[in-house]
Amino acid sequence: MSVKVQITEERLAKLYGVMEENKKKPGPLMPTLHEAQKIFGCIPIEVQKVIAKELNESIAKINGVVTFYGNFSIEPKGETIINVCLGTACYVRGSQGVLDAFQDCLKLKAGETSEDGKYTLQSTRCIGACGLAPTFTVNGTVYGNATVSKAKEIIESLR
């Protein structure tokens, strides 16, 4: 399941403006990618091609950066982003069960976005809150001592 990204003339013009500015400084790629993520809500391959051409970089390099960093995504994300930590401390305390509960409730697999664009479910590595394990985040807010019932409660409260 995925949501289609809108690559409008207006958004592209904004991106070209950003690149024009960034090209005047050293290392224009990362700031351009951050802005592209903001402008389009993600950095799909069509946008990567535009950036590659304009900044004289290879698509392979840009795609590598986009897929490596969690701040970037190739597909649009939902309004509500749920991230379940599967780092070691969380995993041994049952975070897989919490992820399964979210998957069941949202009818999504980890990494997917609902067709209505409301939810993205993801799994992540350690978020640095192991003392609260198992953890998950909802739009960046950390929830600790997570349980399956807490996961279900959160989904109910979001609906």
Q: Is the CB of residue 123 less than 8 Å from the CB of residue 83?
A: yes
**Quick one: how far is CA 21 from the chain centroid?**
26
119 forms beta bridges with 80
Q: How far is the CB of 127 from ligand FES (least distance, A)?
A: 5
Structural contact between residues 26 and 62, judged by C-beta atoms closer than 8 angstroms = no
Candidates 57-65, 83-91, 108-116, 151-159; binding stretch for ligand FES (CB under 6 A)? 83-91
Q: Which of 61, 151, 66, 158 is nearest to 119 (CA)?
A: 158
* Contact indicator for 73, 33 with CB cutoff of 8 Å: no
Site residues (CB under 6 A) for ligand FES, limited to 34-63 = none
Closer of 101 and 133 to ligand FES (Cβ): 133
88 near ligand FES, rule: CB under 6 A: yes
Instruction: Name residues contacting ligand FES, limited to 126-145 (CB under 6 A).
Output: 126-127, 129-130, 133, 135
Q: Could you say whether residue 85 binds ligand FES (CB under 6 A)? A: yes
**Only segment of 5-13, 37-45, 60-68, 87-95 that touches ligand FES (CB under 6 A):** 87-95
**Facing residues of 82 across strands?**
121, 138
Sites of contact with ligand FES (CB under 6 A): 85, 87-90, 126-127, 129-130, 133, 135
